[in-house]
Structure 1
Amino acid sequence: MYKPTERNAQNSLAMMNYAYDTSLQETMILTEAFHTDRVICDNGSLYKFIWVQEGKLTLIVDHVEIEMEQDEIISVSNLHRTEFKNVSGRYLALLFNENFYGIYKHEKEVSCSGVLFNGTSGIVHLRLPIADSELLHEVVDRMVTEYILRDNLQGEMLRLLLKRFIILCTRLARKQLSGFPVNEKGFDIIQRYYVLVDNHFKEKKQVQAYAALLHRSPKTLSNLFAAYGMPSPLKIIQERVVTEAKRLLLHTSHSIKEISVILGFESVGTFSRFFKNMTGENTSAYRKRLQ
């Protein structure tokens, strides 16, 4: 069972709240008060890990309610809007921006984009076994130590520790998302597919286009995703497009026609039919209901 260091045990009653910011706009934040800080909540550049330490937490991510309990953790990309509906206990939020740690820049080292962070509406929600919880607590303890030291190596040390945290969560996600021992090659293709969809969904909306980029046939991809119990390749594209459509409808003043152009649809009618098929309501009704 994890035991806090003496320093952290002494400070356990105090609210954890540490921030690293530089003139290069590099940001990494470790806080138990994310929900009370309007500036941080409104910062659309932050990737987020939210980890329940005690009790329960209710979040709303892109208008989808998520219930969390002790030793559950979610990873949320900078594209998702996150709101706290109810905090009944303690949680820890680890936040960082692309300038501090580039997800795609470090993809070959960490391989977390497409697993922990992608732009779809599907949020990675993990249950931490005791051993994994202990390892993540140890990393957080070391982060706190580095925040306190404040020497000229602080930024690099925090980056290394964040990388360690991400690797541990990525390993756990690969196990839990597959539901059985992971075939590294197969799971790597799934990750790469998610990354490609994130990068190209506005101009590429057919599985064939992504299959060609991955040097696989569409049928091979469909069989692979089915074997892992994942949504179909086409469903992933559609979910990414409709998720972006919802964000543009709710958080911008763009007209329906402008949004259809931004998302690469041939006409506003095609976009409207797609949105209705995916959500069950038309674009105007959706915007009016939730804005």
Structure 2
Amino acid sequence: MAKVPVIEQCVVSDGFNQEFMIESLAHYLDRNKNLVFPHRHNFYHFVLFTKGGGSHTIDFERFEVEPWQIYFMSPGQIHTWEFGENMDGYVVNFHKDLFKDVLLRSDYLMMFPFFSGLVRDGVFVIEEEDRNLVTEILDRILQYRGDVSFIKASLLYLFQLLNRQRISSFSTESSVYNHTLLRNFLNLIESNFKSLRLPKEYAALLYITPNHLNALCKELLGQSAGEIIRDRVILEAKRLLVIKDYSVAEIAYELNFNDNSYFTKFFKKAVGVTPEEFRKKLINHI
């Protein structure tokens, strides 16, 4: 069965460290000139653009490149790009277990919204007041990239710095609580979307009422809880439709639909086209 290409760390690494890589974006693109097809990574990946233009697509959402934009990707997300000339910045890849020996919580990275695997959280522009410090951290990591302990400490510092941009927008204790509750809901969806499809099932896991969950989602994301669950199922369907030899019936089974026709109706209602039509359109753009 054909699959979306999975890019291994060793393939794109500069050979210095198989668990971690940092490199100027210009040099990275020069070494990986053919890396323009849709692909997945089996590692965490982020890029900071300091100059250049073009676009990049993560999980079928397209973004125009602008200076000081940063994007984060978690293992499993689908990615491609179309960059212009004179691109530069920083690119960082690191193994999913890089922090395993220094962090007590295995899910620690999930505390940071940009590592949630949700595109809405993974692409943003760094605030002007933090730009010099961010580049200073990345330059120091480049300088001492042979020191694994320094790399780990510096990356965690960088993640905390970037996370501060989000936290600073939460003005009250109740606001922080609501965002934490929402994050827990999204994490539960990530683990259970194939088997749990009803908001009341997630509300029970969060020890709140379905009405509370729905109001929270409406307030913070502008969508109902049911729409958010549906969108995660649709995203997985789109990811699987990239696999050309994976039949629609197989995708329906993989996503725990009772039959192919119900899956097709579900997909068309959300996307506006059938799974086969979506696949044909996607293939024509590859």
Normalised-by-shorter TM-score class: 0.7 to 0.9
- Stretches of structure 1 that go unaligned for 5 or more consecutive residues are 1-16
Note the 1:1-291 alignment, pairs <5 A.
Answer: 20-22=16-18, 26-32=19-25, 33-36=27-30, 37=32, 42=39, 44-88=41-85, 89-101=87-99, 105-108=105-108, 111-112=111-112, 115-120=113-118, 122=120, 124-147=122-145, 150=146, 154-175=147-168, 183-251=175-243, 253-291=245-283
- Stretches of structure 2 that go unaligned for 5 or more consecutive residues are 1-12
* TM-score (ref. length: structure 1): 0.79
- Indicate conservation of the 8 Å contact 1:110/1:167, yes or no: no
**Structure 1 residue 20 displacement after superposition:** 4.9
* TM-score (ref. length: structure 2): 0.80
The aligned counterpart of 1:11 is none
Give % identity.
22
Structure 2 distance, partners of 1:106, 1:145, is 28
Q: Which segment drifts farther, 230-239 or 273-282?
A: 230-239
The aligned counterpart of 1:10 is none
SS of the aligned residue for 1:100 comes to: coil
Letter in 1 for 2:67: Q
**Structure 1 residue 92 displacement after superposition:** 1.8
Alignment RMSD (CA, Å): 2.8
Letter in 2 for 1:240: R
Q: Which segment drifts farther, 189-198 or 26-35?
A: 26-35
Q: Which segment drifts farther, 245-254 or 256-265?
A: 245-254
Deviations 1:215-261 (A, max 9, x none): 11111112222232443322221111111101101135221111111
- Indicate conservation of the 8 Å contact 1:76/1:117, yes or no: yes
Structure 1 distance, partners of 2:214, 2:132, is 37
Change (3 A) 1:109 1:35: closer
